[in-house]
């Protein structure tokens, strides 16, 4: 699936076309289906109205959409012909006896059948288009979220994203289904008005007296509904955020016995949503009766004046019956105007919330002309790097470090000194604000991100597992890996033995985020996942922190062999982990303050000795 961006967007992110295709059997890669993916994206012109920005997506389904509108139009045309036939049948067959009543009945039945069949087909194509547009929007949002930088997720709550990818999209989809029907009804109303003018021009003008009032009421209703529609969708997102946090943090909630506090928190959010819904209902209750009952005034006027004309013989009974039928057709779109206005304002609010995500630009993007990183030896350089997570959150300051190809280096420092940030910059999760990070002399900003992350593997201190099998978690980076390759990676991470004791071995499905496993087991699977990719540069970000000393020694023995053929940066706290490296670098307040062997630093660096002493106390 290729990322769709308008050419005017600066530095658009590129699709990783060189990445291997996901395996059909791998649920993480997606199962092949008939859904081909979005054919178009939204317009990038933010000055356009919300529906014009979504129009390219609807236009990409133009065949089904036009078919649905055409069939709907045909269905309503057949319906408008029925009152005309009724007028002729009553006038000629019943009153004057100059035509066959049987023939008129057959014609009316035939028109009814044609209207019904075309109506069924029109709804089939219309709903098909609406749901495909919904799928396209959801796919575009998810695809865009995968390209957004880590800084975006640092400041946006996941519940907000979930709400916008579900309820907001559904609001847009419902409007895209409902609005075209009203548009067609409006055109048919014009056709019905033409028949009314043909029957009696004066009576037709009397019937239209209330229509300008309906239009003004609709405009007023739209203006007052939009703000409350936005508030409603925003507060629904707040509820989704609280639910998401409570589901993912259920262990913390129960650990501190805060169930009642969280229930109250959710109840408060739900009450705010209820207030918004009540306010919305009050507004609709105030304005909807006008939209629903004003057309009845027009019907009463037609009955009054038309009845007088029938009594005086200037208008036939069949004509007034047909006239009333056309008036109902004319009033149908106006009677639905209230619902259309309500849905339209909610769809507008939802669309603008969706655009807030789709208009967000990734901060980390590939430069034009980015090339693949190939034949990597593994030399890693940080050249006078400065970086901060915000204007006032500088973490690294003139950080300078060179690691030779094949060398193993331990990075040590107090909490908050910037150790994990070094790992994130090496894999280009973030871009440096000053200086450069280089692999074999190549600035990481000049190479494709896919090739960089295939060659620089990182095991984070907080391992994340998907809710699939153990084997699929290990093979996540190499979906086509054989079972032998998966087992070899698991053995290297000292995970094979405990995996074989699971109910289904490598086919055991782990729970949400892997919480059915211990912290040490999750970390070993995460290590095996990275080792299977076999990157020339390996970064272990405190990757054995949750593993007991006995298992850690087994992993270190395996890693010792693996690290001999690759560049390894070990971010460590334990002495046993630091012992994997011949060279130790001490980091303090974002700068390298000491560099040497363990023995040299122990003898010459007071800070290093303090860090080790503190680590031993915490470990004890």
Q: What is the pLDDT of residue 27?
A: 39
**Which range among 193-202, 258-267, 501-510 shows the weakest confidence by mean pLDDT?**
258-267
pLDDT tens-place string over residues 179-213:
877 778 777 777 888 888 888 888 888 877 777 77
Question: What does the pLDDT average to over 224-248?
Answer: 75
| pLDDT band, very low/low/confident/very high, at 558 (cuts 50, 70, 90) | low
The C-alpha angle 306, 311, 314, rounded to 5 degrees, equals 70
Confidence of residue 413 (pLDDT cuts 50, 70, 90): confident
**Which of these ranges, 8-17, 106-115, 131-140, has the smallest mean pLDDT?**
8-17
Q: Which residues of 347-382 are buried (b: 16+ CB within 10 A; e: fewer)?
A: bbbbbbbbbebbeebbebbbeeebeebeebebbbbb
Give the dihedral sign, CA 507/510/514/517: negative
φ and ψ at residue 416, rounded to 5 degrees = 90, 5
**pLDDT higher than 60, residue 111:** yes
CA distance 350 to 340: 15
Exposure string over 414-439, b if 16+ CB within 10 A, otherwise e: beebbbbbbbbbbbbbbebeebbbbb
Q: Is 565 exposed, middle or buried (0-12, 13-18, 19+ CB in 10 A)?
A: exposed
Q: Which CATH number fits domain 380-619: 3.40.50.300, 3.40.50.2300, 3.90.1150.10, 3.40.50.20?
A: 3.40.50.300
C-alpha to C-alpha distance for 590 and 422, rounded to whole angstroms: 9
User: Using one digit for the tens of pLDDT, what is the confidence trace for 133-148?
Assistant: 888 888 888 888 888 8
Q: What is the DSSP string of 529-561?
A: HHHHH--SEEEEESTTTTS-HHHHHHHHHHHHH
Q: What is the pLDDT of residue 92?
A: 64
DSSP-derived letter for residue 16 is: -
- 329-333, 476-480, 501-505, 579-583, range with the lowest pLDDT: 329-333
SS3 state of residue 398: strand
Q: Are 368 and 328 in contact (CB under 8 A)?
A: no
Q: What is the pLDDT of residues 510-528, one digit of tens each?
A: 876 666 787 778 888 888 8
**Residue 334: predicted pLDDT:** 66
Q: What is the mean pLDDT of residues 212-238?
A: 76
Q: Which residues contact residue 542 at a Cβ distance below 8 angstroms, ignoring those fewer than 6 apart?
A: 419, 420, 461, 571, 572, 573, 577
pLDDT, one tens digit per residue, over 272-297 is 888 888 888 888 777 777 776 777 77
503 CB contacts (<8 Å, ≥6 apart)? none
Domain boundaries, the chain: 50-358, 380-619
| Nearest-angstrom CA–CA distance, 578 and 557 | 13
pLDDT for the residue 564: 67
The three state secondary structure string of 92-159 is HHHHCCCCCHHHHHHHHHHHHHHHHHHHHHHHHHHHHHHHHHHHHHHHHHHHHHHHCCHHHHHHCCHH
Q: Which fold has domain 50-358?
A: ABC transporter transmembrane region fold (1.20.1560)
The dihedrals phi and psi of 442, each to the nearest 5 degrees, come to -95, 125
Q: Residue 26: is its pLDDT beyond 70?
A: no
Q: Return the SS3 of 496.
A: helix
| Confidence check: pLDDT of 7 > 50 | no
Rounded CA separation 35/24 (Å): 14
- Return mean pLDDT, the chain: 79
Helix axis angle, 337-358 relative to 211-248, nearest 10°?
40
Contact assessment for residue 342 and residue 175, using Cβ atoms and an 8 Å cutoff: no
- Most confident of the ranges 28-32, 151-155, 330-334, 595-599: 595-599
Is residue 72 within 8 A of residue 80, CB to CB? The reply is: no
pLDDT tens digits for 339-381? 677 778 778 888 888 888 888 888 888 889 999 999 889 899 9
Residue 359 phi, psi dihedral angles, 5° rounding? -90, -5
3-state secondary structure of 364: coil
The model's pLDDT over 428-479, given as tens digits with 9 standing for 90+, comes to 989 999 999 999 999 999 999 889 988 998 887 777 888 888 999 999 888 8
3-state secondary structure of 595: strand
Q: Is the pLDDT of residue 12 over 50?
A: no
Which is nearest to 398 in space by CA: 375, 380, 382? Answer: 382
- pLDDT of residue 91 exceeding 70, the answer is no
3-state secondary structure of 594: strand
% of the chain exceeding 90 in pLDDT:
11
């Amino acid at each position: 699936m290729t990322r769709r961006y308008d050419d005017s967007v600066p530095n658009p992110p590129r699709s990783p076309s060189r990445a291997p295709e996901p395996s059909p059997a791998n649920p993480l890669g997606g199962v092949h289906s008939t859904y081909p993916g979005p054919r178009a994206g939204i317009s990038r012109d933010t000055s356009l109205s919300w529906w014009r920005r979504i129009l390219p997506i609807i236009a990409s389904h133009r065949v089904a959409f036009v078919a649905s509108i055409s069939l709907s139009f045909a269905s309503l045309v057949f319906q408008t012909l029925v009152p005309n036939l009724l007028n002729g049948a009553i006038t000629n067959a019943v009153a004057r006896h100059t035509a066959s009543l049987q023939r008129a009945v057959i014609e009316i039945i035939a028109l009814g059948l044609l209207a019904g069949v075309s109506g069924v087909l029109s709804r089939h194509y219309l709903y098909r288009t609406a749901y495909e547009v919904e799928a396209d929007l959801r796919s575009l949002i998810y695809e865009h979220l995968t390209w957004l930088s880590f800084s975006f997720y640092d400041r946006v709550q996941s519940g907000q994203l979930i709400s916008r990818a579900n309820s907001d999209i559904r609001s847009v989809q419902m409007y895209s289904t409902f609005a075209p029907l009203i548009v067609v009804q409006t055109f048919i109303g014009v056709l019905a008005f033409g028949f009314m003018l043909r029957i009696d021009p004066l009576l037709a003008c009397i019937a239209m007296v209330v229509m300008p009032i309906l239009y003004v009421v609709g405009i007023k209703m739209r203006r007052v509904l939009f703000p409350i529609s936005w508030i409603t969708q925003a507060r629904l997102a707040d509820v989704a955020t609280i639910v998401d946090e409570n589901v993912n943090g259920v262990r913390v909630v129960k650990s501190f016995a805060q169930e009642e506090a969280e229930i109250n928190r959710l109840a408060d959010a739900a009450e705010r949503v209820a207030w918004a819904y009540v306010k919305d209902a009050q507004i609709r209750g105030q304005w909807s009766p006008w939209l629903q009952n004003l057309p009845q005034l027009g019907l009463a006027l037609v009955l009054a004046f038309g009845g007088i004309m029938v009594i005086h013989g200037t208008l036939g009974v069949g004509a007034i019956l047909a006239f009333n039928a056309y008036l109902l057709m004319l009033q149908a779109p106006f009677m639905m105007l209230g619902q259309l206005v309500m849905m339209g304002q909610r769809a507008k609010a939802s669309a603008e919330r969706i655009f807030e995500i789709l208009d967000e630009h990734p901060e980390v993007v590939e430069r034009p002309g980015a090339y693949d990183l190939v034949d990597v030896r593994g030399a890693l350089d940080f050249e006078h790097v400065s970086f901060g997570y915000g204007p006032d959150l500088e973490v690294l300051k003139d950080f300078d470090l060179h690691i030779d190809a094949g060398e193993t280096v331990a990075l040590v420092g107090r909490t908050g000194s910037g150790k994990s940030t070094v790992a994130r910059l090496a894999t280009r999760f973030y871009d440096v604000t000053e200086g450069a990070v280089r692999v074999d002399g190549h600035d990481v900003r000049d190479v494709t991100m896919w090739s960089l992350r295939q060659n620089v593997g990182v095991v984070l201190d907080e391992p994340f597992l998907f809710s699939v099998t153990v084997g699929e978690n290990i093979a996540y980076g190499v979906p086509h890996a054989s079972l032998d390759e998966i087992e070899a990676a698991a053995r290297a991470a000292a995970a094979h033995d405990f995996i074989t004791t699971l109910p289904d071995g490598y086919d055991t499905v782990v729970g949400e985020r892997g919480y059915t496993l211990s912290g040490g087991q999750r970390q070993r699977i995460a290590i095996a996942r990275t080792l299977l990719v076999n990157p020339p540069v390996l970064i272990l970000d405190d990757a054995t922190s949750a593993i007991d000393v006995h298992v850690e020694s087994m992993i270190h023995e395996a890693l010792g062999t693996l690290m001999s053929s690759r560049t390894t940066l070990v971010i460590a706290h334990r002495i046993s982990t630091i012992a994997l490296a011949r060279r130790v670098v001490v980091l303090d307040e974002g700068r390298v303050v000491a560099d040497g062997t363990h023995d040299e630093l122990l003898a010459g660096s007071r800070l290093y000795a303090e860090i080790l002493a503190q680590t031993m106390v915490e470990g004890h």
